[in-house]
Structure 1
Amino acid sequence: MQLAYSHPFPYPRETVWKLIQDERVLRHAIPGCKSFSHIEQDSYHVEMGLSVGPVKGLFSGQVQIANRQEPGYYQLLVKGKGLPGEIDATAHMHIEETEQGAVLNCQMEVMVTGVLASVGQRVMGGVAKLVLGQFFKAAEEEMNKLASQV
């Protein structure tokens, strides 16, 4: 399944670059985050609870930041398992400068198994876009707290 999502930020690209990968921002931005712990450089163990439409359950997995090209591109690699199934996703994160700040464009390739796959691509696409929207809105709120420190 292919997904795309864009979110504007009221900060310069360099600020968004630093903060969107900050452990504090990630911890608070992941919807339903129950635990977030550092495994090794750029790799984190995450537990999150989801309850969006037909997708309900606790997921445990790993988030890794990879292939950084400062200040405009990186990848988020996400693998997770839960009773509803498994998720394996690669998110291509492009940060572009605009007159109002920066826009983060996310293109994702997502593979799901189990009950998640059985609900259909249309439903999963809607759930994924809702979760992405929640992530970026929460990331911006956390950035608002930390931007003065950058």
Structure 2
Amino acid sequence: MNISSSHKFKGISKETLWNTLQNNEALKNALPGCQKFEEVEENVYDSELGINIGPVKGVFTAKVSQVDIKEMDSYRLLVEGQGKPGKFNGDAAMELVEDGDDTTLQCSADVEVTGVLAAAGQRVMNGVAKVIMGQFFKDIEKEAKKIASL
């Protein structure tokens, strides 16, 4: 399943957005339903997310890794997770594009799901993914504004 989305962060510099995306506390606050987000080695995190959207309900544990990091410009996010409803693997290309005083975060992801998650169907899973990404973008924007004001 391919998922693409982008969000324009108005009045937020590329540097501020990058620093926010590298801040563990900001990420924990921005990931929907995040109950745990701990760095276990450089750029590798253990996380726990409680999700309750449509047919996707439950607690998911995941290993999240940042790879192919190009400081201030882009990185790939690899996610391996599982919960009662099934397992998922994701590979997301994240790119920051500066446009004057604004910065756009572009995300293009390939996601594989199994179990109840797969049975829900691609259309439903795409909808769930868009809700989660939309919430993440809104919350990371709040976190970026906090960091910018420090």
Superposed CA deviations along residues 75-107 of structure 1, whole A, max 9, x for unmatched, are 111111000000100110011011241000000
1:131 equivalent in structure 2: 132
* AA partner of residue 2 (structure 1): N
Contact 2:3 2:110 in 1 (8 A): yes
Q: How many residues align?
A: 149
Superposed CA deviations along residues 12-35 of structure 1, whole A, max 9, x for unmatched, are 112211211211211111100111
User: What is the TM-score when the length of structure 2 is the normalising length?
Assistant: 0.95
5+ long unaligned stretches in structure 1: none
5+ long unaligned stretches in structure 2: none
2:12 equivalent in structure 1: 11
2:68 equivalent in structure 1: 67
2:47 equivalent in structure 1: 46
Contact 2:56 2:117 in 1 (8 A): yes
Contact 2:95 2:107 in 1 (8 A): yes
Q: Would you identify which runs of 4 or more consecutive aligned residues in structure 1 move more than 3 Å?
A: none
User: What is the TM-score when the length of structure 1 is the normalising length?
Assistant: 0.95
| Counterpart-to-counterpart distance in 1, 2:31 and 2:15 | 22
